[in-house]
Amino acid sequence: MAAKGRKGSRPGKVQVDSDRSGRSIGSAVNVAINRGFVVGREVFVGSIPGIVVGYNIASFGRFIGNAYPLVVRTALGVTKCGVDEVSLV
């Protein structure tokens, strides 16, 4: 039985222009870096301590990079965060 042709989209997902989203993700990451959220920096996610371990460059999915540019490791696991959700130690 042959597989159905797929158009690369799922119901409920918004199609994003990859060139435009790439620039906005880069801008969001640059804003985070300029505010001091560099890799290795200790931060608080709410009241939970963590360390910035990278940057989210995803251009599709639930947690896209322009809204959640930081990747933070805490005792509870690794999470993607917005700049407004974390604070410097």
In a domain, 15, yes or no: no
Render pLDDT for 3-43 as a digit per residue (tens, 0 to 9): 555 555 555 554 555 555 667 899 999 999 999 999 999 99
In a domain, 75, yes or no: yes
- The Cβ of residue 68 has, within 10 Å, a number of other Cβ atoms equal to 21
In a domain, 18, yes or no: no
Render pLDDT for 50-67 as a digit per residue (tens, 0 to 9): 999 999 999 999 999 999
The total number of structural domains that make up the chain: 1
In a domain, 74, yes or no: yes
In a domain, 86, yes or no: yes
**pLDDT over 90 (residue 2):** no
Look at residues 59, 56, 60, 58 and name the one whose alpha carbon lies nearest to residue 82: 56
Domain of 58 in residue numbering reads as: 52-89
In a domain, 80, yes or no: yes
In a domain, 31, yes or no: no
In a domain, 27, yes or no: no
